[in-house]
Amino acid sequence: MTGRRQPTPNQRGPRLDKTRDWKPFARFNGQARAVVTAAQAEARQLGHRRIGTEHILLRLLKGADEPGAVALSRLGIRYDTAREAVQQAVGSNSNSPVSGTIPFDDRAKKVLELSLREALALGDNFISSEHILLGLIHESPGLGARILREHGADARAVRDEVGRVRGAVS
């Protein structure tokens, strides 16, 4: 046994063929893709015109039994509290509907890039919710990471809890 966590069939992302064109979400499994698409819905509900790290955090918190959500729950981070912090920090313009595709801001893009690095560092060939969470906490200037820190979840605590959650799933 190599110590690497073997993903279940619904966690596996597609295998990459390095000779083909690079596709930005090719390694994202179903959980990670749900985070990305639902982050857009969070931004839309708040009337925001860009997807930020805060929207990624809000979606991670809604993941029920996904590893990222389990880790956040164990750290005492709750959706309602985080959403209130987002509204206090950047407001809500839910009366002004946002249509079409909402783009990611630069910090949110960085979180998604960091999630790949986190997956590879953990020996996974796919990106899941826990990798996005680890990427999020390391994009420290972002609002999502700031909210986590303000609620007692710094990078070390998040990494440790993700490790415990992953150990329980292995």
Helix (H, G, I), strand (E, B) or coil at 51: strand
Domains for the chain: give ranges and CATH numbers.
30-169 (1.10.1780.10)
Residue 9 CB-half CA count within 13 A:
0
Query: Which residue, among 163, 167, 107, has the nearest Cα to 136 in the 3D structure?
Result: 107
The pLDDT, as a whole number, for residue 149 is 96
Query: Which residue, among 92, 18, 15, 124, has the nearest Cα to 135 in the 3D structure?
Result: 124
Whether the predicted model's global pTM rises above the 0.85 cut: no
Encode the chain (170 residues) as per-residue pLDDT tens digits: 455 555 554 455 555 444 444 466 788 999 999 999 999 999 999 999 999 999 999 999 998 889 999 999 999 999 999 999 999 999 877 667 788 889 999 999 999 999 999 999 999 999 999 999 999 999 989 999 999 999 999 999 999 999 999 987 54
Q: Taking a C-beta distance cutoff of 8 angstroms, is the pair 131, 115 a contact?
A: yes
Query: Which residue, among 165, 152, 139, has the nearest Cα to 63 in the 3D structure?
Result: 165
Alpha-carbon distances of 156 from 2, 5, 28, 160, 162, rounded to whole Å: 24, 21, 24, 6, 10
What string of DSSP letters covers 64-78?
TTSHHHHHHHHTT--
What sign does the dihedral 20-51-66-163 (CA atoms) show?
positive
* Per-residue burial over 18-45, b = 16 or more CB atoms within 10 Å of its CB, e = otherwise: eeeeeeeeebbbebbebbbebbbebbbe
Amino acid of residue 59: R
